[in-house]
Structure 1
């Protein structure tokens, strides 16, 4: 759950925020708000949609065929992790109702929130939803359609399919949905899929002891606290919260709520708003879109994106604390591909299922689209000055896939190996320091990646 009382935080670190905003305040303020109408309203809770499709993929260079695939995927859509935001919203609604202070719109909100909470509770807070399972099933089936010769080869060679997860139930359930679809799409794979194994150091690294410095950064770093407090303290935050409240409560009651209470209520409502689409199967009659205008939802999405950006993404220029820990995952991607090329990896595929806390740092470490620009001093993250968007970097079921292609060895010439990367199923170039096999190609020599994908 996001911070629900940011104004108190702002007061606690006002001096730090003042220093950070001394330079460039006007331009940051002018550009801080959402700039793309109708988009970015759900942030990292955005349900998954593939960004590539049939007919949009380059053919491999002549003589190369797929021999291995591996991925890193976020769990699919899920229930919110607890009832806290719903309980907070309902408490204010009950008080307003007791005072006869609900508007017509406000009177409609309570039943919607109770229905959403009931659906989440029945599913299990934090658990994978039906929509989330379907996101992974369809991703698996599209993989099979993209790489039919690889799938056939894995079956013919009786190669194993390794499955690794963080051990968190929603990640395990995502793995089960994905591999179940692989087996249904190609029954010959069923006996080749290994049972999932848990690797927290690889797929839940943000919580592990070796990353205590990162945990301290999130908890108490003054630069982080200062910039987030400054963003929260933008006058538009309080204005947006006030608009939300006055649409739901009559003026006399709304006036009794402090600015802090209004903001706390509005942010909790936004958390429910952004969680509802992920439970579209379990709660088909819930629709929270009437209770936040698109403009107001975008502002709260921006606030959430700012927090994600600074805690898990590119963050501050000159600091690598938020993403260097993802090196263990990048190293594993390379190691698995290298082992396959060397003949020591007997798997036809390695499938990994994890969380936004791992996907976002990995995207920043690899310089994937939208994750290349940290915030410069005195110029806080804003939609107008930075391309990072939670909905694009790490929506539900976000995934990074590497496909390994091999050429047939000939007399005096060993096999060559190329890698193609897909990001949310869209062909994606590696960072600029990596050179593809030809201009405009999405294929890279494996040896080139070994040298260009260096990291802190």
Structure 2
């Protein structure tokens, strides 16, 4: 539990996948799973803007979060089970409360079966399906990659779930077009760009995340709102008898409710391993919404836009943004033979990159005297960095002119307002224009 300071036949298959369960075109925000929300592509192939006449795709690159995974460890599950066991021994469980332990145990068993923190079956499917959709969007590019034997470079953070995500994604590419198999390079680790929040050069960020006074104060102010205790009390009142609940201190009620939320939010990610596990009945939507807000607040301040006037949470993504440009420029300059570069990383890298790219809902900062809330800020973990979140840049060429299109969770997305597309409302930008507006 994170507590502060605490992508012929390929096209047909992709179309089927777009209609498959789990690939809806909108996040189910009513369930409040925050950054643990399973992945959904956000636009259909038929709705994409066609490239200008004569332009063909010559390169693609992406930055993707790992797919759905198991919980990081058993801490939250163990904590919830301990309270349930104590209550059971004292006759303090309601009928609903008595049904919770088997659900929690099923989730813990599922997590242990694949390894805590590791990619789940759903996570692997998310990556394979995204790869197939990438092929269906860019058939000409992948045909050229095969014809010209262009390499597909793969980079990861080196963390097991990111490596497994890369393997699932490239496995999807190869399944869609077996001729790509020999062109997909073995994954290489690049921690400086894909796990930068943990690297020595970002010690200033680590110090911020560990104990910045403004961060501590903002999160304490959010956590200590009366609504937090009220929600925890309501959660506890449904699961335990009045007599037992009365003996649980408020702080312990809050800890229990937050641990239960962590399990609630990860349950959908383990639907393959624990298909019958469902914590929805134990956490009413209104309560889950508040607990989701507390979780989103931590993400917002730790890896999102955070405080107005400060860039500590996102400036460290600059080398990754530089690399995105460097790959485009090398391709356009004729010094790269690569057909694609695929990167697999984590929410802590996707969220800062989203700020630098000014992606929708990713940039609004909070004032010191006005903490982040759902009412005053559009930032939501479920939209900014759900499981398998991805940012893709496609390079198109016509003669010596190069255009770039960006997809964010597979939705065509504009670059920052200071960048001017080739026509008003278009999602295509000259590479030279992007270089200008990003001051390269």
Report TM bin, short chain: over 0.9
Q: Which residues of 2 match residues 57-456 of structure 1 at below 5 A?
A: 57-407=48-398, 409=399, 415-454=400-439
CA drift of 1:54 comes to 1.8
State the partner residue of 2:43: 52
Relative to structure 1, is the Cα distance of residues 37 and 333 closer, same or farther in structure 2, using a 3 angstrom cutoff?
closer
User: Equivalent residue of 2:360, what SS?
Assistant: coil
Relative to structure 1, is the Cα distance of residues 436 and 376 closer, same or farther in structure 2, using a 3 angstrom cutoff?
same
- The gaps in structure 2 that reach 5 residues or longer are 7-26
Is residue 235–residue 282 contact of structure 2 (8 Å, CA) maintained in 1? yes
Relative to structure 1, is the Cα distance of residues 66 and 38 closer, same or farther in structure 2, using a 3 angstrom cutoff?
closer
Distance, in Å, in 2 between the alignment partners of 1:210 and 1:430 is 28
Is residue 40–residue 391 contact of structure 1 (8 Å, CA) maintained in 2? no
TM-score by length of 2: 0.94
CA drift of 1:3 comes to 2.8
CA drift of 1:281 comes to 0.3
RMSD: 1.4
Is residue 63–residue 391 contact of structure 2 (8 Å, CA) maintained in 1? yes
Distance, in Å, in 2 between the alignment partners of 1:60 and 1:380 is 42
- The gaps in structure 1 that reach 5 residues or longer are 10-35, 410-414
Corresponding pairs, count = 420
CA drift of 1:376 comes to 2.1
* Structure of higher RCO (CA pairs closer than 8 Å, 6+ residues apart): 1
Q: Which digits, 9 at most, give the CA deviation of each residue in 1:385-409, with x for residues without a partner?
A: 11100000000000000000000x3
CA drift of 1:75 comes to 0.1
Distance, in Å, in 1 between the alignment partners of 2:203 and 2:267 is 33
CA drift of 1:62 comes to 1.3
Is residue 59–residue 340 contact of structure 2 (8 Å, CA) maintained in 1? yes
CA drift of 1:454 comes to 4.2
User: Equivalent residue of 2:293, what SS?
Assistant: helix
TM-score by length of 1: 0.91
Is residue 29–residue 382 contact of structure 2 (8 Å, CA) maintained in 1? no
User: Equivalent residue of 2:45, what SS?
Assistant: coil
User: Equivalent residue of 1:39, what SS?
Assistant: helix
State the partner residue of 2:3: 3
Is residue 156–residue 343 contact of structure 2 (8 Å, CA) maintained in 1? yes
CA drift of 1:285 comes to 1.0
User: Equivalent residue of 2:62, what SS?
Assistant: strand
Is residue 38–residue 294 contact of structure 1 (8 Å, CA) maintained in 2? no
Distance, in Å, in 1 between the alignment partners of 2:149 and 2:46 is 30
Distance, in Å, in 1 between the alignment partners of 2:210 and 2:363 is 24
Is residue 85–residue 268 contact of structure 1 (8 Å, CA) maintained in 2? yes
Distance, in Å, in 1 between the alignment partners of 2:181 and 2:382 is 33
Is residue 3–residue 298 contact of structure 2 (8 Å, CA) maintained in 1? no
Q: Which digits, 9 at most, give the CA deviation of each residue in 1:259-280, with x for residues without a partner?
A: 1000000000000000100000
User: Equivalent residue of 1:431, what SS?
Assistant: coil
Distance, in Å, in 2 between the alignment partners of 1:353 and 1:432 is 27
Distance, in Å, in 1 between the alignment partners of 2:354 and 2:31 is 18
| Structure 1 residue ranges (4+ consecutive) displaced by more than 2 angstroms after TM superposition | 36-40
Distance, in Å, in 2 between the alignment partners of 1:214 and 1:246 is 40
Is residue 214–residue 368 contact of structure 2 (8 Å, CA) maintained in 1? no
Is residue 175–residue 196 contact of structure 1 (8 Å, CA) maintained in 2? yes
Distance, in Å, in 1 between the alignment partners of 2:121 and 2:439 is 39
